[in-house]
Structure 1
Amino acid sequence: MKNCAILLILVGMVLACGNADQDTAHSSQSLGITDDEILVGSSLALGGHAGYLGTQTLHGALAYIKHINEQGGIHGRRINVIAYDDGYDPPRCVANTQKLIIQDKVFSLFCYVGTPTTVKILPLVEEAKIPVVGMFTGANALREPLNRYLINVRASYYQETGAAVKHLVEELKINRIAVFYQYDAYGFDGLKGAEIALRAYGLVPVATGTYIRGTLDVADGLRRIMAEQAEAVVMIGTYEPCAEFITLSKAMGFSPVFYNVSFVGADELARLLGRIDAKIIVTQVVPPPEVSDSNQELWGARDYVALLKRYYPADQPNFVSLEGYINARVLVEGLQRAGRELTRETFIDAIESIRNLDLGIANLMSFSPKNHQGLERVYFTHLQDGKFIWLNH
């Protein structure tokens, strides 16, 4: 009898521990969710040399989220966003993310901006098993190997540079192509993408030049590229140093084709350059935000413009905030599909169920358990009369 009693006590302890583990798991899955709220968190540049990118990403996302909340939210819950400024600085981004996960206890992370910042939070994401939705970066490290908790929306930098190199080589008949890049994870990823694309044509960069993130020290990189008489420059940077590079190039009589990936922030680049006489191309992962009423397949861009005007009337429609808006559309779609009994895992499952979703941007969106990048299309724009417009090529 004594042995049976001990056995019963041990069984009870095991069952209690099992129930405690289940309660802990359920609790961790329910973080950031109440009867009337879903809490999501973001760390992005709201000031400093990349402040335009973070601010506009956030405004675009919030324009749609505010609209959804005014309609009653998702299954009776409003979406609330906590956003912290990281200044495009990786250590600050990590600290902000720790605060969002541990102190604020958000359900999901959302709208992170930049490669060097976002890649640094991956260990935290893995440990917390927390979704990250809609990163403003095309870095391959966030796509391969596939991570269940990373939901990429936009096309990758490899896709952007691949399309650009094809355009330069096949259509513009340019073979002498250089690469100018930010000396960090973002720049290295863009450089690799350009090298892969060039290799398909039996080419390599004729020269490379770099600058340090947060500076405008572009002169040495420019001299290296000029020395090799490049006909085109693939630029992997942000708006201020890239504008400095182009302006200095023109002043020195150097006029190649300047190509930039989408992260440059095309609208701010255009503002800095004004009506400069140069051939400048930017690939985009969203269409130009201002389209004619006759273009029926771009109804999503028109909806974005209307909501931005309503909630952020001081902002001009731009590529960056349109991307933020689309990220919010994906977040909301996943929450709606997951239903009222929401957990982080059911949310991921819901995202993976999206097939050929039309967001009105001439680019259907699909996810699956083996594919966590929703959009594939790359759009071409070029600078004309101080503004980037759709390039028919």
Structure 2
Amino acid sequence: MRNAPLLCILLYLALSLAGCGRSEKTKAREVGTPGVSDSEIILGSSLPLSGHAGYLGTQTIQGARAYIRHVNELGGVHGRTIRIEAEDDSYDPPQCLANTQRFIIDKQVFALFCYVGTPTTLKALPLVEDAHVPLIGMFTGANALRQPPNRYVVNIRASYYQETMAAVRHMVEDLGLTKIAVFYQYDAYGFDGLIGTELALKKFEMEPVARGSYIRGTLEVQDGLDRIRKSGAEAVVMIGTYGACARFINLSEEEGYNPIFYTVSFVGAEELAWRVGRTSPAHVFMSQVVPPPVPSDDQDDSASNYVKLLDRYYPDDTPSFVGLEGFLNAKILVEGLRRAGRDLTREGFIRAIESIKDFKLGPGLTITYGPYDRQGLDAIHFTKLRDGQFTPFTDWGEFRKELETGK
């Protein structure tokens, strides 16, 4: 009995050490995988929910949430539900940077998701690289997010270079145009589209006949319009936001200047159509990086599933190209989480994304990644403004005849 106190002390120390060991192991796991608990995965999303690009942000996040709510209702991924912490950056780069800092340092999110815009996303990119935090599904086609490949940056959509190349090819080869100008937003987004257009024209031994720009966040497009109009451009490639592009088109019409207008997908089809107006006679084209958001009988069609799930969870919302892109972002995110398994880490998630090959999203729509391939989709679809909405367009030959006859 004289050794009883000593035995008690030894037993206490052993239990304490065992408890400390468990605590340290749990702590290490938490430090190793921020934003992951036994029941939840937390993501951070900085995007414009207000201001002159607010439509793009609200549509992107709503499309993503439609799919994530569906996944959560089915039990989540490996027993964990997904939660998105979304913060408004108003398409302002410094605000996006501040939001990203809070996500990584204060909120300890697992990954960054559904960022919107080139200048904003590029502002946050150094933090992504320093923290080794995955950034997946950005609503931007910026080349700087694709080349050189960044291990932690996962693009779903095609690039602006691909969009402008496809558009210029149709203008030159199918429509026979020789005088093409560029109207662009004076920032990283606009410069990226301008360079893409210049590279595309260079393949045909051409260059823009004029360049006009405006300052992000304004509608001051008159100087750019005057410069382009004086050049006699037959077509204008537009790299801006929906408000400025609509203002440019409407002013052109008022002044009797009627070139072909082409915009990249970032402009936002539904919002641009509404601002240009149903009765506008202008020829306005827009490239898209996703198919039309319409229902079908195909159970594996992501576009159709997006329409159905949006109606279930957000019945007051109207399906859009932008929303469908957010929906596809969420599908790829979830597929990566599933492949990564229950023992989720950031590195494991990136390896899981790299393992995706020929993942079907719908008819003619597949995703493939690899160690040096950080973009899933390459297809470009074209739409034309008709009766107040952008609808699929493929008949360039017939359109050329229309131009030549003046009808």
User: TM-score, normalization: structure 1?
Assistant: 0.92
What CA distance in whole angstroms lies between the structure 2 residues aligned with 1:299 and 1:86? Answer: 32
> Which residue of structure 1 lines up, in the alignment, with residue 338 of structure 2?
336
Cα RMSD of the aligned pairs, angstroms, is 1.6
1:281 alignment partner AA: F
Which segment is superposed worse, 151-160 or 271-280? 271-280
- 1:363–1:297 CA distance, 2 compared to 1 (3 A): farther
Gaps of 5+ in 1: 1-20
Aligned residue runs from structure 1 range 332-371, under 5 A: 332-360=334-362, 362-371=364-373
Cα deviation, residue 28, structure 1: 3.9
Cα deviation, residue 299, structure 1: 1.9
CA contact (8 A) 1:181 1:190 kept: yes
CA contact (8 A) 2:141 2:159 kept: yes
Aligned residue runs from structure 1 range 29-178, under 5 A: 29-178=32-181
Cα deviation, residue 363, structure 1: 1.8
> Which residue of structure 1 lines up, in the alignment, with residue 220 of structure 2?
217
Structure 2 residue corresponding to 1:199, chosen from 202, 206, 219: 202
What CA distance in whole angstroms lies between the structure 2 residues aligned with 1:110 and 1:252? Answer: 43
Cα deviation, residue 232, structure 1: 0.2
Cα deviation, residue 364, structure 1: 1.0
Structure 2 residue corresponding to 1:325, chosen from 319, 323, 327: 327
CA contact (8 A) 1:232 1:256 kept: yes
Which segment is superposed worse, 355-364 or 247-256? 355-364
CA contact (8 A) 1:301 1:361 kept: no
Which segment is superposed worse, 269-278 or 339-348? 269-278
1:61 alignment partner AA: A
- 1:221–1:361 CA distance, 2 compared to 1 (3 A): farther
1:216 alignment partner AA: L
What CA distance in whole angstroms lies between the structure 1 residues aligned with 2:175 and 2:27? Answer: 59
For residues 249-268 of structure 1, the C-alpha deviation after alignment (integer angstroms, 9 at most, x for no partner) is 00000111100000000110
> Which residue of structure 1 lines up, in the alignment, with residue 248 of structure 2?
245
> Which residue of structure 2 lines up, in the alignment, with residue 18 of structure 1?
none
For residues 178-212 of structure 1, the C-alpha deviation after alignment (integer angstroms, 9 at most, x for no partner) is 00000000000000000000000000000000000
For 1:253, what is the secondary structure of its paired residue? coil
- 1:221–1:60 CA distance, 2 compared to 1 (3 A): same
> Which residue of structure 1 lines up, in the alignment, with residue 289 of structure 2?
285
Cα deviation, residue 122, structure 1: 1.1
CA contact (8 A) 1:298 1:362 kept: no
What CA distance in whole angstroms lies between the structure 2 residues aligned with 1:309 and 1:271? Answer: 21
What CA distance in whole angstroms lies between the structure 2 residues aligned with 1:99 and 1:249? Answer: 43
> Which residue of structure 2 lines up, in the alignment, with residue 270 of structure 1?
273
Q: How many residues align?
A: 372
**Larger radius of gyration, structure 1 or 2?**
2
For residues 119-149 of structure 1, the C-alpha deviation after alignment (integer angstroms, 9 at most, x for no partner) is 0111100111000010000000000111000
> Which residue of structure 2 lines up, in the alignment, with residue 12 of structure 1?
none
What CA distance in whole angstroms lies between the structure 2 residues aligned with 1:184 and 1:170? Answer: 30
User: TM-score, normalization: structure 2?
Assistant: 0.89
Cα deviation, residue 26, structure 1: 5.1
Cα deviation, residue 392, structure 1: 1.4
For residues 56-98 of structure 1, the C-alpha deviation after alignment (integer angstroms, 9 at most, x for no partner) is 0000000000000000000000000000000000000000000
What CA distance in whole angstroms lies between the structure 2 residues aligned with 1:23 and 1:258? Answer: 58
